[in-house]
Amino acid sequence: MTKSAFIFDMDGTIVDNMAFHTKSWLEFFARRGKEYEAEAFFRETAGAQGREILRDRLGSDVSDEEIAALAAEKDALYREMYGPHRAAIQGFDAFVTAADDKGVALAVATSAPPKNIVFTLDELDLRRHFAAVVGAADVKQGKPHPDVFLKAAEQLGANPADCIVFEDAPMGVEAARRAGMRAVVITTTLPAASFAEFDNVIKIVNDYDELSVEDLLAAL
């Protein structure tokens, strides 16, 4: 397998929505009498699956069924908040079109549940760019475990060493590192300094207008 592949996280990487995820989480917990500081909450949870965040904060005595219902409630709140603001990050469409023209295999690997994937990829007409879409429902363990990126590479028929992951969160970059993949960081939600510890990061940019498909392929 020598096929080159670009694998994109979705939230914060294809769309600039992480502030709305944090806002909806804080509102969800506030309704239950739990208060969290926004920046600390974001840093602790960005990239994790909703059910993992809930399990971590509500404990092991809550049933899986209740966790699933609570996650669905929180995600409905998020979609209500973010819906009017939905848009792909600057330059994204042109960048993935250029990558496709050069024969790069494209996939999404996200911690999002199915309804949020539809909300973003289908309702913004972005799914057409991707040969594979892997979400929270498709893997047992969320980021920083590498499962979601490895499954995306497998579906594309690409070797992990020939994949570049696009991420906005340290947990996601760590998942890429564990998968044996290089990473490009989009600084929608955290500054470049937050990624200083990662040796698999090859580029840090504000948006896709700052990226060249040719330069990234050369890095492989």
12-23 pLDDT, tens per residue?
Answer: 999 999 999 999
Handedness of CA 109, 49, 82, 74 (dihedral sign): positive
Question: Which pLDDT band holds residue 47 (cuts at 50, 70, 90)?
Answer: confident
- pLDDT value at 1 more than 60: no
Tell me the CATH number of domain 5-16+86-219, given options 3.40.190.10, 3.90.1720.10, 3.10.180.10, 3.40.50.1000. 3.40.50.1000
pLDDT, one tens digit per residue, over 116-136 is 999 999 999 999 999 999 999
What pLDDT does 46 receive?
84
Which of the four pLDDT bands, split at 50, 70 and 90, describes residue 10?
A: very high
- 25 token code pair: 């989480």
| Residue at token pair 């594979």 | 132
pLDDT in tens, 153-212: 999 999 999 999 999 999 999 999 999 999 999 999 899 999 999 999 999 999 999 999
Look at the alpha carbons of 118, 119, 122, 127 in this order and tell me if their dihedral is positive or negative.
negative
Tell me the pLDDT tens digit for each residue of 60-90: 899 999 999 999 999 999 999 999 999 999 9
Q: What is the pTM of this model?
A: 0.93
Catalytic positions: 9
pLDDT the model gives residue 48: 87
The pLDDT score that the predictor gives to residue 43 is 84
DSSP assignment of 91-160, as one string?
THHHHHHHHHHTT-EEEEE-S--HHHHIIIIITTT-GGG-SEEE-GGG-SS-TTSSHHHHHHHHHHT--G
- Please determine, for residue 213, whether its predicted confidence score (pLDDT) is greater than 60: yes
Structure tokens at 17: 């929505």
Q: What is the CATH number of domain 18-84?
A: 1.10.150
Confidence of residue 2 (pLDDT cuts 50, 70, 90): low
* Residue spans per domain, the chain: 5-16+86-219, 18-84
Give CA torsion, residues 212, 213, 217, 218, to 10 deg: -30
Question: What confidence category does residue 25 fall into, taking pLDDT thresholds of 50, 70 and 90?
Answer: very high
